[in-house]
Every structure is written in C-alpha cells, then in structure tokens.
Amino acid sequence: MRTLPPGTSEDVARVAGPNERYAREWLGDMVTAGIVTYDPPPTGPTGCRRSTRRR
C-alpha cells in the first residue's frame, strides 16, 4: 500500500484482489489500529453533507 496513491476500498480491492467488502473491513481495522489514516470526503456519495449527530 505504501506505493499506492490515496484511494478507496475499491482501489485496494482492485490491486490486492479480495472482494471490496473485505478490503473495506480490513481498511477499517487498519484505521482503528492507527496503521493507515482516513480522510473522509466533505460530502456523502449523494452530495449530501454527512451528519455527525446521533439519532
């Protein structure tokens, strides 16, 4: 991963070969452990602002 540009779980899955869901879960574990960082986009996938409020 060190040689890859910043990307998504889809990008990691494409390069590494696992299903995107497994890559996403693995990346979540790596973020939790502090091995990789996560920079969320300013808006959600539909262009809506993400809410940080708990429901």
pLDDT score at 33: 93
**Is residue 22 helix, strand or coil?**
helix
Domain of 29 in residue numbering reads as: 1-36
Let me know if 23 is exposed, middle or buried by CB neighbors in 10 A (0-12, 13-18, 19+). Answer: buried
pLDDT score at 2: 79
36, 42 Cβ separation under 8 angstroms: no
User: Which tokens belong to 41?
Assistant: 């986009």
For the chain, the domain total comes to 1
Gap between the Cα atoms of 28 and 50, Å rounded: 18
Show pLDDT as tens, one digit a residue, over the chain (55 residues).
Answer: 778 888 888 998 999 998 999 999 999 999 999 998 888 777 655 555 544 555 5
pLDDT score at 26: 92
User: Which tokens belong to 15?
Assistant: 């390069």
Q: Summarize pLDDT for 22-37 with one digit per residue, the tens.
A: 999 999 999 999 998 8
Specify if 4 maps to a domain: yes
Specify if 44 maps to a domain: no
Q: Is the pTM of this model over 0.95?
A: no
12, 23 Cβ separation under 8 angstroms: yes
Specify if 27 maps to a domain: yes
Specify if 10 maps to a domain: yes
